[in-house]
Structure 1
Amino acid sequence: MGHGGNVIAELTTDHREVEELFDKVQALPPGDERRREIVDEFTIELVRHSVAEEEYLYPAVREHVPGGGPLADKEISDHATVERLLKELEGMEATDSRFDPLVDKVVSEVREHIADEEQNLFPALAKACSPEALDDLGDKIRAAKKLAPTRPHPSAPDTPPANKLLAPGAGLVDRARDFVTGRGRS
């Protein structure tokens, strides 16, 4: 991830990439070991994406969009639900009887969240912000994704300033663990 363009273009492209991974995992038969690798891939992408949104997108929604506070709160709540599901999936073998229902639940929750963001939040933000502000947010989102964690941390703070302080450190540890284990290199 890291495509260029304003925040809406950046995050929409992320959404399409995650949906492609969902299609790949759902095309494989239950119990197929390749499902585990794809789940690791979409977990990495979802966590990085969510952390960046929580650091920059949702504070901008609160600041610029009329009634943006409750809208941002709902999106952060959606993230927390998905992060708990991803944490449950972490380390679980594809042959575990709980694996496939959890994958289906993640896919369903994320698809609903994507639709909500693209139909409601993004248009409201585009209306409330200048093109320059949207471009600046896109740059901040890309920078945040580079340093973000790659594993779910459901107990970590999800609002500034604490999330901006802790996420880079957790990201460094996660990337070191990923390097050692080979996770995400498929």
Structure 2
Amino acid sequence: MFARTARATKHLTQTRFAHPSIINQSTRLFAASAISMTKISETIKTDHRDLEGWYQKIINPTSEDEQVRAQNQFVWELARHSLGEELVVYPALEKHVQGGKALADKDREEHQVVKELLKKFQNMKPADTEYMPTIKSLMDNLSQHIKEEESEDLVRLESALDQADSESLTKSFHRTKMFVPTRSHPSAPAKPPFETAVGLMTAPIDHLKDLFRKFPDQKISPNPSMK
């Protein structure tokens, strides 16, 4: 009994004072496991709620510095989310859902409108007279797209997938977001494989420039591999 207690105490001590790299590795493995068990519709909805949250920080900032950081984060999140959908979710719609091609084409058209507005907004400063009108117009379009996507597209897609296929799409979606551009490039193709090729060329430039932008809670840009 004493021996078992001693071994347990030693294990707890080693765990408590484990090297940070071990703790970080465990955290990443846990996060990856959680992602792998999440349906694609839940993943997309989580992104949508994050975007809505950053939008609120843009239009209701406590300071201009917070507003700029929220703006950069919003652009970073939306650019990657949109491309992730176009490269992973919309092809799945076309493949698995009856009438899915029409749905995907409609979504791409709506994305194009948002991309044009995001391109304009991402280069603006809070002092610009069109700053607020632009982000509000962008969000009006995005909100309508989100509503339709969540109530129709994702419902139909999930009904056509089993749990394993949906989870596999989630993993592909997250992997794709690691390598795509982090700014809006509306003139780029909106369908693979050309969209993929352009994205792979553009992404490193965006990632480098992100190093000089301010983001919430940190001085350098977020790591795409962790989002």
TM-score (norm. length: structure 2) = 0.76
1:6 to 35, 39, 49: 39
- Aligned residue in 2 for 1:45: 77
The counterpart of 1:126, out of the listed 153, 158, 167, is 158
Superposition misfits of 4+ residues, deviation over 3 angstroms: 31-34, 183-186
**CA offsets 1:71-92 (integer angstroms, 9 cap, x no match):** 1011111111111001111221
Give the letter aligned to residue 102 of structure 1: T
- The number of aligned residues is 183
Q: CA deviation at 1:32?
A: 3.9
Match of residue 147 from structure 2:
115
Unpaired runs of at least 5, structure 2: 1-31, 218-227
- Structure 2 partner of 1:95: 127
How far off its partner does 1:33 sit? 5.0
1:171: Cα distance to partner? 1.4
RCO (CA 8 Å, sep 6+): is it higher in 1 or 2? 1
Q: Once the two structures are superposed, what CA deviation does each residue of 1:118-140 show, in whole Å capped at 9, x if it has no partner?
A: 10001000111121111111110
| Paired residue secondary structure (2:124) | coil
Percent identity of paired positions between Structure 1 and Structure 2: 29
Q: Deviations over 1:15-55 (max 9, x none)?
A: 111111112222238x9453232121111100000011100
Cα RMSD after superposing both structures: 1.8
Partners of 1:55 and 1:159 within 8 A in 2: yes
What aligned pairs does 1:1-186 form with structure 2 within 5 A after superposition? 4=35, 5-28=38-61, 32=64, 34-179=66-211, 181-184=212-215, 186=217
Tell me which amino acid in the other structure corresponds to 1:184: F
Distance (Å, rounded) in 1 between the aligned partners of 2:110 and 2:156: 18
- Displacement of 1:112 in angstroms is 1.2
SS of residue paired to 2:178: helix
- Contact kept in structure 2, 1:6 and 1:139, CA below 8 Å: no
Q: Contact between 2:72 and 2:213, CA under 8 Å: does it hold in 1? A: no
